[in-house]
Amino acid sequence: MPSVGVCRWRSSPLSAVLRRSFVVDLLPPSRSQLCGAVPCDFPSPDAVGRRIRLLKIWWKELMVLGATTTAASGVGPLGPVLGDFPFAEKLAPPVVAPTPPAPPPVSPPANCHASRGDAAWAPPPHPSARRARIKRPPACLRLPPPHHQHTHHALPVIPPPRPPSSAHRPPSIQDRRAMGTVVDAPTVVTENEEVAVNMLGDKKVTVVFVLGGPGSGKGTQCANIVEHFGFTHLSAGDLLRAELKSGSENGTMIENMIKEGKIVPSEVTIALLKEAMIKNDNDKFLIDGFPRNEENRAAFEHVTKISPAFVLFFDCSEEEMEKRLLGRNEGRVDDNIETIRKRFKVFVESSLPVIEYYKAKDKVKKIDAAKPIAEVFEDVKAIFAPYAKTA
């Protein structure tokens, strides 16, 4: 049994939309493997059904991880709280079959160019991973390429995005563990949806996602875009830092995630972004540093029904980004060499797949961000020309 499960209902002050969350925290050492929240918004009977389904899947994953359900922090044991789940039938813990013995080592297929020692190759999943709800791509395509330091970020060889269908979900925790990737972000089970209406209340919005590695110059160029093209800049990192300083109940969790270079649960970041967009009169937003993983992306689409006009991707070598971050001098707790390396790893493993997702939709505009600031902005300007202010 790896850890103690803590479960509670709580009201989120962050957003009227994410009113209630079913929160499950695993204490160390499993905290880094699984920590997150299933947003439970109940606008319609359909949505209730879907949430219950998601909750069941999540519950099973917890059980498979072997979480015990002991009460901790005075918030109550998992079972009784699940029993209180409004609208839900009782969610009995699934019977978990004993894990079969590990299969003998398998060599990569002849037509797979990666070698066994290569992170790009993964053996077929252990039978315990058979619960996967998605059709798995060929093993040799499953992982991003190995993480080399000081290299440009060629987009990883990953399977093309799944077609939008409620039958397809991001890989489960077991899938990711079977793949051998680090589960660096909490998992919210979300569905791929293509329901963009781009409306926030009665305002139609244009959103551009600004992505790139830490220190690639996203914030610097966003300031230029704001000045020349009338967008409002929303940095996910800045919003999270402001939230932690505000003394919010999520403050400690956010601080720890940032210090560790990890990605904060989507519901927190999305609520902050949504609130900021609603409060602002502008209808054109640069969302900087988000979505940082597939969970961020799918949850944002699900909650906001907003799809980006395009994704601005700042491509830069790690060597250059590291130099810039170490010279940034903004007093950030995560601009130290140890956390920087972790952030690079998270970027390659979790953020590049998001860029790949949008690339397949022909929505990525890639910029060579290694050039001097003014030259980078020349390239950015060409992309934003259609949004030139007409005053």
Ligand X SMILES: Nc1ncnc2c1ncn2[C@@H]1O[C@H](COP(=O)(O)OP(=O)(O)O)[C@@H](O)[C@H]1O
Ligand Y SMILES: Nc1ccn([C@H]2C[C@H](O)[C@@H](COP(=O)(O)OP(=O)(O)O)O2)c(=O)n1
Q: Which residues contact 167 (CB under 8 A, 6 or more apart)?
A: none
Query: Which is nearer to ligand X, 5 or 217 (by Cβ)?
Result: 217
Report, in Å, the least distance between residue 335 CB and ligand Y.
Answer: 8
* Residue choice 178, 211, 364, 376 for contact with ligand X (CB under 6 A): 376
* Residue written as token pair 């967008």: 231
3-state DSSP call for residue 13? coil
Which residue's CB atom is positioned nearest to ligand X? 217
Report residue 112 as tokens.
């797979």
Site residue total, ligand X (CB under 6 A): 13
| Contact residues: ligand Y, CB under 6 A | 214-215, 218, 235-237, 240, 257-258, 261, 263-264, 269, 289-290, 292, 296, 334, 343
Closest Cα to residue 222, out of 230, 214, 211, 233? Answer: 233
Query: Which is nearer to ligand X, 41 or 335 (by Cβ)?
Result: 335
Query: Helix, strand, coil proportions of the chain in percent (round to 5)?
Result: 40, 15, 50
Selection from ligand Y, ligand X, none that 376 binds (CB < 5 to 8 A by kind) is ligand X
| Residue 290 annotated as part of some ligand binding site | yes
Please give the Cα distance from 369 to 350 (Å, whole number): 20
Please give the Cα distance from 140 to 316 (Å, whole number): 26
Q: Taking CB under 6 A as the rule, does residue 177 contact ligand X?
A: no
Could you list the beta-strand ranges (E) of 14-113: 20-26, 35-40
Selection from ligand Y, ligand X, none that 187 binds (CB < 5 to 8 A by kind) is none
* Residue choice 51, 177, 324, 342 for contact with ligand X (CB under 6 A): 324
Q: Which of residues 203-242 bind ligand X (CB under 6 A)?
A: 212, 214-220
Query: Which is nearer to ligand X, 117 or 372 (by Cβ)?
Result: 372
Report residue 18 as tokens.
């994410």
Closest Cα to residue 318, out of 221, 213, 217? Answer: 213
Query: Which is nearer to ligand Y, 167 or 223 (by Cβ)?
Result: 223
* DSSP class of 351: I
Query: Which is nearer to ligand Y, 108 or 212 (by Cβ)?
Result: 212
Closest Cα to residue 351, out of 300, 304, 284, 296? Answer: 296
Selection from ligand X, ligand Y, none that 296 binds (CB < 5 to 8 A by kind) is ligand Y
Query: Which is nearer to ligand Y, 174 or 269 (by Cβ)?
Result: 269
| Longest Cα separation, the chain | 70
3-state DSSP call for residue 125? coil
- Which residues lie near ligand X (CB under 6 A)? 212, 214-220, 324, 328, 372-373, 376
Residues making up the annotated binding site for CMP are 296
Residues making up the annotated binding site are 215-220, 241, 262-264, 289-292, 296, 328, 332, 343, 371
